[in-house]
């Protein structure tokens, strides 16, 4: 009887001790894998902003130069192909999945113009985190569109990567000139912008590679865009002036006009000269939207 009791006692110690050890080992492993994930995130993101000098920037470089097109391709992440896996089944990881349309009304206007078109292609410049006030998420989620999300700020770009958008991603900016260029970008959450030469720069900055709009289209081998959302805090008109509208077909646009130096008339007049009319305006009392919706004449 004594022997049996002793054995039982032994097991009553050994088994719980074994379980506790197992838990500790797993916890340790999990913690260290978490740390590697965070570390790799930083590494992965900064890799995109670490430029080596090539001769493919500046006024002498053409936006349809095959070397530029190849370079754009190197700055494009295929839909759901980023190296940081935020879920194995590629499901959306949204902060507010219950919000059907996080845009401030732009998406609804475009949806009405295009009559709930399915399988379209969008380009959104100033994509922020890919969810907050996103003008394109609805199209992707409910109408099976795909597209290209362009966002220069590394802090925002990493957030886009986490959301598993079914779109191409690019940690770059639309050039305000008809050639590729590296610019100084002022990081300021949803109000970040390209620092124009001569202007006083405040806050954190980062160097960002910009490409002309047309170079992205050539890299993606497309000439048709169903909806282009342009919200880049003041340089919208400069970007629009780089676009060869006669060579491509952009069916609808939303363009923020609030910060454009020439004012909203400068934007509407230029777009009129390119064959577009104003469908409507989208405004928001808290200045969260001040957009023209353009369609073709």
Q: Contact with ligand NAG (CB under 6 A): which of 198, 221, 286, 287?
A: 221
C-alpha 174/C-alpha 218 separation (Å) is 14
Restricted to residues 143-172, the positions that interact with ligand NAG (CB under 6 A) are: 144, 146
Residue whose CB is less far from ligand NAG, 29 or 118: 118
3-state secondary structure of 207: strand
Out of 21, 70, 119, 207, name the contact with ligand NAG by CB under 6 A.
119
CB of 95 to ligand NAG, least distance (A): 25
What is the C-alpha separation between 75 and 65, in angstroms, rounded? 16
SS3 for 205? strand
| Contact residue for ligand NAG among 2, 3, 13, 50 (CB under 6 A) | 50
Rounded to 10 degrees, the C-alpha dihedral 127/44/217/232 comes to 30
Query: Alpha-carbon distance 152 to 156, whole Å?
Result: 8
Q: Which residues contact 25 (CB under 8 A, 6 or more apart)?
A: none
207: contact with ligand NAG by CB under 6 A: no
180 contacts 209 by C-beta, under 8 angstroms: yes
**Region of 45-53, 63-71, 98-106, 109-117 interacting with ligand NAG (CB under 6 A):** 45-53
Cβ atoms of 169 and 157 closer than 8 Å: yes
Q: How far apart are CA 157 and CA 189, in angstroms?
A: 11
Q: Considering the complex, what minimum distance in angstroms separates the CB of residue 46 from ligand NAG?
A: 5
Q: Does 47 bind ligand NAG (CB under 6 A)?
A: yes
Nearest distance, CB of residue 143 and ligand NAG, angstroms: 9
Give me the least distance between CB of 181 and ligand NAG, in Å please. Answer: 20
- The residue count for binding ligand NAG (CB under 6 A) is 9
* Shortest CB 50 distance to ligand NAG, Å: 4
Strand partners, 77: 169
Residues 25-44 that bind ligand NAG (CB under 6 A): none
Please report whether residue 118 would count as binding ligand NAG according to CB under 6 A.
yes
CB of 34 to ligand NAG, least distance (A): 21
Beta-bridge partners for 290: 283
User: Which residue in 46, 83, 84, 112 binds ligand NAG (CB under 6 A)?
Assistant: 46
Alpha-carbon distance values, 61 to 172, 179, 264 (Å): 17, 6, 31
| Binding-site ranges for ligand NAG (CB under 6 A) | 46-47, 50, 52, 118-119, 144, 146, 221
């Amino acid at each position: 009887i004594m022997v049996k009791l002793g054995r039982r006692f032994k097991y009553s110690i050994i088994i719980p001790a074994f379980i506790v050890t197992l838990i500790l080992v797993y916890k340790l492993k999990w913690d260290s894998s978490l740390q590697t994930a965070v570390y790799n995130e930083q590494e992965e993101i900064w890799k995109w902003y670490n430029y080596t000098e090539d001769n493919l920037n500046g006024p002498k470089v053409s936006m349809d130069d095959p070397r530029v097109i190849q370079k754009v391709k190197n700055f494009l992440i295929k839909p759901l192909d980023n190296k940081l896996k935020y879920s194995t089944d590629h499901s959306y990881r949204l902060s507010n999945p219950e919000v059907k349309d996080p845009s401030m009304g732009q998406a609804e206007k475009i949806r009405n113009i295009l009559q709930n078109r399915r399988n379209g292609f969008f380009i959104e410049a100033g994509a922020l985190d890919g969810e907050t006030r996103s003008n394109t998420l609805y199209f992707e989620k409910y109408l099976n569109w795909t597209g290209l999300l362009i966002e220069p700020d590394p802090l925002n770009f990493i957030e886009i990567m986490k959301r598993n958008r079914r779109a191409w991603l690019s940690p770059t900016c639309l050039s305000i000139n008809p050639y590729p260029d590296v610019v100084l970008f002022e990081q300021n959450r949803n109000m970040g912008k390209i620092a124009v030469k001569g202007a006083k720069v405040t806050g954190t900055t980062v160097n960002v590679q910009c490409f002309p709009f047309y170079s992205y289209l050539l890299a993606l081998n497309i000439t048709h865009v169903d909806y282009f959302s342009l919200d880049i805090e003041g340089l919208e008109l400069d970007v629009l002036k780089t676009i060869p509208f006669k060579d491509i077909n952009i069916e609808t646009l939303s363009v923020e006009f609030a910060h454009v130096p020439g004012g909203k008339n400068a934007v509407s007049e230029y777009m009129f000269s390119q064959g577009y009319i104003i469908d409507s305006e989208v405004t928001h009392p808290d200045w969260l939207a001040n957009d023209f919706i353009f369609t073709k004449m």
